[in-house]
Homo-oligomer: A and B are copies of this chain.
Amino acid sequence: MEYSIKVGGKRIRPILMLCTANIYKDNYKGLIPMACALEMIHTYSLIHDDLPCMDNDDLRRGKPTNHKVYGEAIAVLAGDGLLNEAMNVMFDCCLQGSKKELKACAMISKSAGVDGMIGGQVVDIISEGKEISNEQLSYMHKCKTGELIKSAVVSGAILAEASEQDIKILSLFGEKLGLAFQIKDDILDVIGNASLLGKNVNSDKNNSKTTFISKFGLEQCKEMCRSLTDECLQLLDKIHGNIENLRNITVFLLEREY
């Protein structure tokens, strides 16, 4: 568990939660345990996705994947342990908190589950080597990556007691950001630099996966990514408050090379 958590990563989900909360609250340090729970959930999903029976990846964040270091059994259990520990942290936050903590945790938990991340991964696995429709591709990515990114943003807003109106805007922002993030991931899998990315490139093609690239081609994907980013920035402009950090992350996610 410690190995995979400490091996690095962009920490996008916890950063999104904290920066969203920071629009409404100067002191967001109290939210750090919950933000860490998000990263634990993300990290568990990477450990399980990398397993030989899934994507069979040897390299992640520039280091050998968990099962390469500790073996498959411990990798499965490290993943289970991180998901469970994330829930422990969230229940503890709820015990010390109020209804808003519970709302945020229930949402995060749902976004990680069968109607979110796990559901998306199932579609990913059963679609390998098959042609899937645009709708199936969108559903897969919305669930697999989008839901947890969206819930990172929205939970930050809930925890910082944003207005219902702002939560609606940020929910749409999170949705579009999650989609842009996944398309960018697909782009980097084709044109990215393995040593910058810290993982092997062309893994989608090698695993016979349908991606945004295989559906729409590289140029159209770049255009979709830019246009989604613009929509994200326009949504942020509707929020009253200091959206500077969230704006910077949005642009960073478009321009990132890893």
Contact = CB atoms under 8 A, between A and B. Distances in A.
A99 B94 CA distance: 9
Given A54-B76, A77-B118, 11 more contacts: A1-B114, A51-B76, A81-B122, A83-B83, A85-B114, A87-B113, A88-B110, A88-B113, A91-B105, A94-B94, A95-B102
Contacts of A74: 122, 125-126
A84 interface: yes
A109 B84 CA distance: 7
Nearest to A76: B48
Contacts of A85: 113-114
Contacts of A113: 81, 84-85, 87-88
Interface string A8-40: 000000000000000000000000000000000
A73 interface: yes
Interface residues of A, number: 40
A77 B99 CA distance: 30
Contact of A102 (B73, B79, B91, B118): B91
A80 interface: yes
How many protomers of this protein does the assembly include? 2
Nearest to A72: B53
A51 B53 CA distance: 11
A66 interface: no
B54 A73 contact: yes
A27 B77 CA distance: 37
Given A95-B103, A102-B94, A118 B48 contact: no
Interface of A: 1, 44, 48, 51, 53-54, 71-74, 76-77, 79-81, 83-85, 87-88, 91-92, 94-95, 99, 102-103, 105-106, 109-110, 112-114, 118-119, 121-122, 125-126
B114 A92 contact: no
A110 B54 CA distance: 28
Contacts of A83: 80, 83-84
A50 to B, nearest CB: 11
